[in-house]
Chains A and B, each alone.
Chain A
Amino acid sequence: VSERSRAEVDATLQTAKLNPAELLPAVHCVSFGPQASAGECCLLQLEPELCAELEAGRSLVIRGEKDEQAVLCSRDKTYDMKIADTSNMLLFIPGCKTPEQLNADPASCNMIYSQIAGFSKNYWELRRCRPKLKKLRKLLMEDPYEGPSSQKDQTSTFSKYTTEDLFSLIQASEEEILHQLQVIDACKIEGRYWRVLEFNYEMKLLDHVTQLIDSESWSLKKVPLRTCLEELGSLEPREMIEHILLSYGRKYIDDAGEVYFEMREDKICRAIAQMLLQNAVKFNLSEFQEVWQQSVPDGMTTRLDQLKGLALVDKSSRPETICLLKVEDLPEDNQERFNSLFSIREKWTEVDITPYIQDLCAEKQTVGALLTKYARSSMLNGVKVYNSRRPIS
């Protein structure tokens, strides 16, 4: 097909009864490029921040195994992907100019031959979503680190995961994954592989530190790294001692350049509660509170609100009881999470349920909005409670 000539274009205008004086001089003769039908191009609708990222030269990645719904990740955000159908035909054309561009460049030629690179009736639509991080914990919990004295590691056939492995397996952005590794106190053992500590081993390490704090009569706000390593280095690997201090304390450096830790009271009390609660299904609340307070380091005060998302108090039973219920053990999907919570307890107050649904909130979504969507409210003894919208079998 030879290129259209100016004469042909003008003849078409005449037939169409269009007045060239009312038109800009330039015309695009649009034809289908050689690969237009091949279906090798597709369109991805971008949230504004993604456009900026691409223009800055950064890349986007699609992640998902065959059994997972694909997500798109930028460096720090995760998006669900969905096909949107239009009833219209979308043609994508390189080198096509807008009237502004034509007017801005009076020297531009007035026959522009544009080739359609591809066309589609649909495009990928993105919606910001929560990163799918439950799998991260699941992978690392396949083989928690039990300490150097454990024989397990030598004979272990479990996979070990490097940072790159996790980036390709987890449906989340790199920054979200790295942040979560910090949140779950994962550490790199042998320099390469991310591990989480097996809980009892973690408690053993913590116990070494708290015993040392006690015997040295240190302030909980000023625990010296150097002395901990010296005193405990014969009992446990130095990296583990430092790791436990980083997990349960806030690191700072004094004017003399010495590294200290301010121990995190809430986190330590919470861990000790978990240790006590995991030994039985349910505890008498007041007995538990007594034992718990006695078990924490001197100078620390236990409070039930330290256990949000870890333990559930039943105020309706006589005597009142408490049991372990960890939010991270519950399903990640919203509907499944609510189903699970309502099968544990039929009616929840907002105060009780909030720690177990807080993490489901999307950007700018409130717990109230979630409850409106997934639960039904009613009054019980003058208190507003929430129950399932559907019958739970």
Chain B
Amino acid sequence: PCSSYSSGTGPLAQWMLVELQGEVEPRQSGSLAGSLLGDLHYTCEGIPVLIVGHHILYGKVVQLEKPFAVLVKQAGAPQPSPGEPQGHYTVTALIKTKLLFKTRPKPIITHVPKKV
């Protein structure tokens, strides 16, 4: 069998990739859906700054030498296992840019207890 990846109608959307170290976990147990990741700012020099929980992450904007295509599974198709890409997908978007956050997160210190 084979599966087709077409771009469908209309021009492809351009998305962005954000690359973070470590895992993404929900704050409370339950799904991630709807929960906030954080605020993404840029300095005037164009450096991305991501505030996630109690951490500040500094990153950089990278133009990808090899862009990514985002494939979205179409409803009703069987669940493919990681080794099997077969299934029915559509190319939904292209990603040509990523924000790479590789530096160690700087913790935000919200309260410094005073020495008695």
Contact = CB atoms under 8 A, between A and B. Distances in A.
B29 interface: no
Interface string B77-116: 0000011111001011111110000100000101000000
26 contacts: A23-B49, A24-B42, A30-B36, A32-B32, A32-B35, A34-B33, A36-B33, A37-B32, A45-B66, A45-B67, A51-B67, A55-B94, A62-B2, A62-B85, A62-B86, A64-B2, A70-B86, A88-B21, A90-B17, A92-B18, A93-B15, A93-B18, A94-B13, A98-B16, A168-B1, A168-B2
A70 B85 contact: yes
A23 B5 contact: no
A252 interface: no
A255 to B, nearest CB: 46
B4 to A, nearest CB: 5
Contacts of A123: 68
Given A15-B110, A41-B92, A92-B15, A102 B42 contact: yes
Residue among A89, A100, A122, A124 with max Cβ neighbours from chain B (10 Å)? A89
A87 B35 CA distance: 23
A135 interface: no
A193 B107 CA distance: 68
Interface of B: 1-7, 11-13, 15-24, 31-44, 46, 48-51, 56, 61, 65-73, 82-86, 89, 91-97, 102, 108, 110
A127 to B, nearest CB: 11
Interface in A325-378: none
Contacts of B23: 89
A12 B19 CA distance: 22
A99 B17 contact: no
A124 B85 CA distance: 9
A41 B66 contact: no
Contacts of A100: 46
A238 B18 CA distance: 64
A54 B90 CA distance: 11
Contact of A9 (B11, B39, B83, B95): B39
Contacts of A70: 84-86
